[in-house]
Chain A
């Protein structure tokens, strides 16, 4: 198992800028989810991709978008950054979708600070 790796680990951006966060999923995992964890809070679901298509989305505006690639890597893009976007962004991958019981593997996250 290669695990889930995220890059960069830390990032500082200015309000109004755009940012791209990257995730390399565990080998063979065709489902990837992204979560936002604000300071002192539990992670909140942003969206999920299965076989390169978005198949689930949480309560986040359209300026949060993503991509999933055939090599199991994925990206989270955030446009027009706001101060409240400062958070730890977590990527999680698993095999399958729907009501499958397979477990999620989380990366260590990217800490984004918007100033």
Chain B
């Protein structure tokens, strides 16, 4: 069985500060991992994905994530956040013909 665990339900941070949203995964097969963002009252937008190759993955809006097989982690980072980054972030693992979502991390950026 595959699963993802998002370790923080909420992360408050001041504007221009760095941020890390933590995600651990469990899988017995090849791993495909994603981070999606959901802005208030909107659908889901793909931030970045890890399929294979380089363990450092760069996405949109200045976000990046590092796949760590030994620690079974896929943490999302941004060196300097903006007010507009306030949203819900989901770590996702690709199961057989479906996506398995974590419970989400609410990133709140304060001025």
Contact = CB atoms under 8 A, between A and B. Distances in A.
Contacts of A72: none
Interface residues of A, number: 25
Nearest to B101: A42
A45 B98 contact: yes
Interface in A78-115: 90, 92, 97-99, 101, 103-104, 106-109
B84 interface: no
A104 to B, nearest CB: 7
Q: Chain A at the B interface: mostly helix, strand, loop or mixed?
A: loop
Contact of A55 (B90, B97, B100, B102): B97
Nearest to A46: B98
23 contacts: A35-B99, A35-B101, A42-B102, A42-B104, A43-B44, A43-B101, A44-B101, A45-B98, A45-B99, A45-B100, A55-B97, A56-B97, A90-B44, A92-B99, A99-B30, A99-B96, A103-B46, A103-B49, A106-B36, A106-B44, A107-B43, A108-B42, A109-B42
